[in-house]
Structure 1
Amino acid sequence: MALKIKTREIQYKAADGTTLIGYFATPETDQVVPGVLVSPEWWGRNDYTEQRARELAEHGYAALALDMYGNKNVTTDAKQAYAWMMQTFEQSNTIVDRATAALNCLASQAEVDASQLGAIGFCYGGKVVLDLARSGAQLKAVATFHANLSAQTPAQVGQVQAEILVLHGAEDSMVSLDDVAKFKEEMFSAQVEHDVIVYEDAKHGFSNPLADERAQANGVDLGYNAEAEKKSLAAMYDLLDRNLKTAE
């Protein structure tokens, strides 16, 4: 049964001075609970990201949907999304700095057990949480959905603290199976505990019910797959429960 939850917006700042506005959801409980970052697709911190945060709260996690662009900027236009995303690539440290600010914000909330932290990310947001993990952040679990797997700085032995789960679509034209193979090589070389699950007939954006609408409006190769969504979320919750929920 889903837990009763509460939500609020939280303003925080990145190291570069950018004002960021996260969306926080947590169970209504007197006990501290594990915390999970939710990193959005390139559209920004939108309703979909906030929905995933609320679902995590209903499952017993405190979740912060982070803001990568500042002032919770959001769009449905792919050209604008691309422009905002590329701005975060201009300086090599921007992605990790902004993700670190969000992680620190999450850990500082009174409802959160700061020793039990994880992160999930979708598309561009998958890259964000992977780069955060590669930086040595104190994360125990990271799950990505149809993520950009490229590394700003490749993982080194002993650096990644998290168990990593990559959930990928076999028909993803934006992140190829060769990209997945290179990611696996990086993880093996860095001795990172990881798993990759590839879903048949699934395109980029498979977890988002609005993917087909966005694809049609923007002329990009996205596609929703309900079965892949269901299976990938179940795999994510299995990862989080194993790593973040301590035994009673």
Structure 2
Amino acid sequence: MTSISKLSLSKASLFKVTLTLAAGLYGSAALAAIQSKEIPYTAADGTKLVSYYVYDDAIKTKRPGILVVHEWWGLNDYARKRATQLAKLGYAALAIDMYGDGKHTEKASEAMEMMHGVFNDASTSMTRAKAGLELLEAQPQVDTSKIGAIGYCFGGKIVLDMARAGLPLAGVASFHGVLATATPAQASVVKAKILVLHGEADTMVKPAEVDAFKAEMKAGNVPYQFISYPNAKHGFSSPAADRLGKENMIDVGYNAAADKKSWHDMRVFFNSVFGEKH
């Protein structure tokens, strides 16, 4: 009986030592995870903004950075979720704030007011977008030679306008974004590759606006990709779109197939833009 007890104790001790050694050998890898934090910043116009920065600390080298520009609802959980998804793919992602103080809402009337507060002065939107871009460039995990941007709805217009303005972006992807602009794209200015992901059933972006966008790109000799998804309404990538559409009596809706396919198409696009797979 005594010998059995001693043997059991010996095995238990050996197991404990093994665990200790494993913790020493693999502890740092086990602790590696997606890291996220809010970073306050200020635009050149003095507006106080807040961002959500996410990256995978298991990656020890610099990696491409991607800006995420929110829908007209503001910097909400959806924009943060997309930033987190990008971080899990191996990017450093920064969800930026275009309204100030991280304001967001679920009321269309309030969203419209906040959006027009930015749109009414073109310099305001670019000033705030540039502030977000500079903040992303300043993060130690980011390869500043490989920066892109994605935007949703209102944010889709913002990233397209960033490309039109010639900001130093390798590529931009617009999800169910507003396409109209007062400053047409020109090949001599645009540095970014452009991807537009559009819902064929989008009643908020009229067919005439789609035609005008394509004509703009052709006239400016600007290369672009335009992908349409059948039966997809405005807001097709957001699972909350059905509820928000009903509550606000607006024609938006979620489309799971378009959501999945557009995310895949975005990944293929950025893999090509950055010359590496994520």
TM (norm. structure 1) is 0.96
User: Which has the higher mean CA deviation after the structures are superposed, 52-61 or 180-189?
Assistant: 180-189
1:33-52 residue pairs with structure 2 within 5 A? 33-52=63-82
3-state SS of paired residue (2:147):
strand
**CA drift at 1:27:** 1.4
Query: Aligned-pair RMSD on alpha carbons?
Result: 1.2
Q: Does 2:249 align with 1:206?
A: no
Q: Which amino acid aligns with 1:221?
A: D
Q: Does 2:18 align with 1:20?
A: no
CA 1:21/1:245 → structure 2, altered by over 3 Å: closer, same or farther? farther
Structure-2 residue corresponding to 1:237: 267
Of 207, 212, 216, which residue of structure 2 is paired with 1:177?
Answer: 207
Q: Which amino acid aligns with 1:25?
A: V
Residues 34 and 245, structure 1, Cα contact 8 Å, conserved in 2 = no
1:1-248 residue pairs with structure 2 within 5 A? 4-28=33-57, 29-246=59-276
**CA drift at 1:176:** 1.4
**CA drift at 1:245:** 4.2
Q: Say which structure is richer in helix.
A: 2
Structure of greater relative contact order (alpha carbons < 8 Å, 6+ residues apart) = 1
User: In structure 2, what is the Cα distance between the partners aligned to 1:61 and 1:192?
Assistant: 26
User: In structure 2, what is the Cα distance between the partners aligned to 1:173 and 1:187?
Assistant: 22
**CA drift at 1:178:** 1.8
3-state SS of paired residue (2:244):
helix
Runs (5+) with no aligned partner, structure 1: none
User: In structure 2, what is the Cα distance between the partners aligned to 1:67 and 1:173?
Assistant: 26
Residues 162 and 193, structure 1, Cα contact 8 Å, conserved in 2 = no
**CA drift at 1:246:** 4.2
3-state SS of paired residue (1:93):
helix
Q: Which amino acid aligns with 2:42?
A: K
3-state SS of paired residue (1:26):
strand
Q: Which amino acid aligns with 2:184?
A: P
Structure-1 residue corresponding to 2:3: none
Structure-1 residue corresponding to 2:5: none
1:189-232 CA distance string (max 9 Å, x none): 22222011111100000000000000011000001000000000
**CA drift at 1:152:** 3.5
User: In structure 1, what is the Cα distance between the partners aligned to 2:134 and 2:218?
Assistant: 28
User: In structure 2, what is the Cα distance between the partners aligned to 1:195 and 1:246?
Assistant: 19
Runs of 4+ in 1 over 3 A off after TM superposition: none
CA 1:192/1:4 → structure 2, altered by over 3 Å: closer, same or farther? farther
Runs (5+) with no aligned partner, structure 2: 1-31
Residues 131 and 152, structure 1, Cα contact 8 Å, conserved in 2 = no
Q: Which has the larger radius of gyration?
A: 2
